[in-house]
Structure 1
Amino acid sequence: MSFRIGYRTLKTAVGAGLAVAIAQGFNLDFYGSAAIITVLCISVTRRDSLKVSWARVVACIIGMAISGILFELIGYQPWTLALIMLLFIPIVVMLQMNTGIATSSVIILHIYTVGEISTALIINELLLIVVGVGVALLMNLYMPSSDQALRTYHKDIEEHFKTILHELSVYLRHGESEWDGKEIYETVDLLQKGKNLALKNIQNHILRYEDQYYYYFKMREKQFDILERLMPYVSRIHHTVEQSETVANFLDELSKSVSPANRVPYFLERIHLMRKGFEEMPLPKTREEFEVRSSLAYIMHELEEYLHIKDRLWNQADKKKL
C-alpha cells in the first residue's frame, strides 16, 4: 500500500495546528481542545461541515448548561458526571444532533476538571468552540473541483451508449453479433459513480440543490433501464424481416446522435413515420414473422419511451444542457 497525503488530511493537519495557535494566542485554558473540535468538524462536503458544526455548537451549549447546573447542585463527583451523560445524550439524540456528543463531552470534562462553574470558564469554553468550529469552516472553504471527473464520466457514458445502440442494430440486421457485452457492466458502474460524484458536488454548494450533471446521470440511468429491457427482445430475433432493417438503421442513427444536443423531436417523428409505414405493410405470412414483428413493435415502443425520458428531464432541468 502506497503512502500518500490527501487534501482532507492536509486540511485537517493545518486546521488543527491553526486552531491551537489561535487558542494559545488568546491564552485560553485547554487550548488543545480547539484542535479536537476542528478535526471533528472537518467534513467531506461544505454543506455537511455546516450541519456538523451547527450540531456541535448547540450540543456544547446544552452540555454546558446541564453540567453546570448538576455539578453545582449535586457536586463534582464521578457519579454526577454519569448522571449528566444519562440526561445529556438522550436530549441531543432527540434533537438529532448526535455528532455533537463527542465535542460536548470534552467541554463537560473541562468543567469537571476545574471543579467550579464561572463566567470566565464559560467564556473560555465558548471561545474554544468558536475557534475550533471557525477554523474547520475556514478549512472547508477549499474543496477540489469535480468538474473534470464529471466530464469524464459524461463522455465515457455517452461512448458506452453509442456502442450498445450500435451493437443492438448489428444484431437486428444480421441475427447475430460477436459483441461481448462488457459495456453493459461498465455502464452500470459509470452511472453509479457519476451520480454519487454529482450528489457530492451538490453538497459542496451551500445554496445549490440541483446540478446539470445530476440530471444527466439520472436521465441516462432511466434510459439504460430501457436498453436493458430491450436486450432480451433483440436477442430472440433470429429471423430478419424487412422491418428489422428499418429498426436497425434507426438504432444505428440513434447511436451516432448520443450527445448533449436535444434531437428528441426528430427521432420521435422518425418513430411515428416508421410505425405508420409498418401498419401499411402486408400482414405477416408466418408465425415466425408475426413474432419477429411483434418484438420489433415492442422495441419501437421502448425506444419511444427512451426518447421521452430525455425530453422530460430536459424540461425538468430548465433546458440546461444534458
Structure 2
Amino acid sequence: MTWLVTGGAGYIGSHVARALAQAGLPMVVIDDLSTGFESFVPDGVPFVRATILDGENLQRVMQFHKVTGVIHVAGYKYAGVSVTRPLHTYQQNVTATATLLAAMESCGVDRMVFSSSAAVYGTPPAELVTEETPKSPQSPYGESKLIGEWLLADQGVARGLRHTSLRYFNVVGSASEDLYDASPHNLLPLVFAALVEGRTPRINGNDYPTPDGTNVRDYIHVADLAASHVAAAQRLDAGVTIEPAYNLGSGSGSSVGDIMRTVAEVTGIAFTPEIGARRPGDPARIVAAGDLAARDLDWKMRHSLREMVESQWIATRRAAQPSEAG
C-alpha cells in the first residue's frame, strides 16, 4: 500500500511525509516546488517534481509506484491573497483536485485524505465550530476548499471513493529544525522576518469584535496535524468507518495578540506591533471543536502556544544561517 503525498515538499506536506515514514507507510511525493523544497522530502522517499494539473503524468506516477491512496496537501493556501487572485486559486485548488481525482479513477486508486480548511465556515454564527456548522466561506480560498470537499463526496457516490477531509486553520511550529515555514503570507514567518531585519511586525486589524480586537484562530502544531493525517490514512487502509470531515481544532483558540506576546517572550525582543487594515475575507473568529477527530484520528493538542512559537523560531533561525558547504 503506497500513498502519494501531493505537496509533500512543502511545510505541511513534508511533516506529513515524515510522519508517514515514521509510521512505516510507503509513499511517493509529488510537488512542483513552487513553495516547497526538495530537501524537505524524507531521505529515501521517491520524489517527482511535477504539477498535479498534468493528469497524464499523475497516472504514470500512480501506476509506476503502485499507489493505493492519496494524501492531498498541495494547493494555494492564502485566503487573503485569494481575494485578489480568484482564478489562480480555483485553478490550483479546484481544477487540480478534479484532475487528481480523474487520474485516481483511471488508476483504480480509491482512497483520499484531503487537506481542507476551517475557512469553509467563513464567520460562523456559533462560538465553537463543529463539523455540522453551516458552511459560508468568505474568500475564494475557502470556497475552493469547500468545492474540493464536494468533489470528493461526488466521487464517493459515483465511484466508491473512500475519503475524509481534515479542516484546520493556522498551522505553526516545527517538528524538526530543518523544516520551516517559508510562506510570504503566513503570520509567524512575517513576524520573524521583521524582527530579524530590525523592523516592527505588522498585524492586520485590531478592531475585530474579539477580547483584544485581533483575530482569534485555532493555532495548531504542524506535528499534531501530521499525526492525524497518518491516522486517517491508516483508517482508510484498514477499511473501517471514517467520517467525511473532521475539525482539527483546539476548542479554545488564541488571538493574534496572544501570538505577538508569545513571540516577544520567546525571542526576547520587545515590540509593539504596527496595526494595518483588515484583510479582505478575514473572519474575526474561527475556533473549532476537535471531538470527532480525537475519537477517530488520535487528535490532540500536544503542544502549548509557547512550544509552537519556540519550535518555529528555532527552525527559522537555523534556516537563516549561512550554509557551511563550499
What is the TM-score of this pair, normalised by structure 2?
Answer: 0.22
Whose radius of gyration is greater, 1 or 2? 1
What is the TM-score of this pair, normalised by structure 1?
Answer: 0.23
Higher helix share: 1
Higher strand share: 2
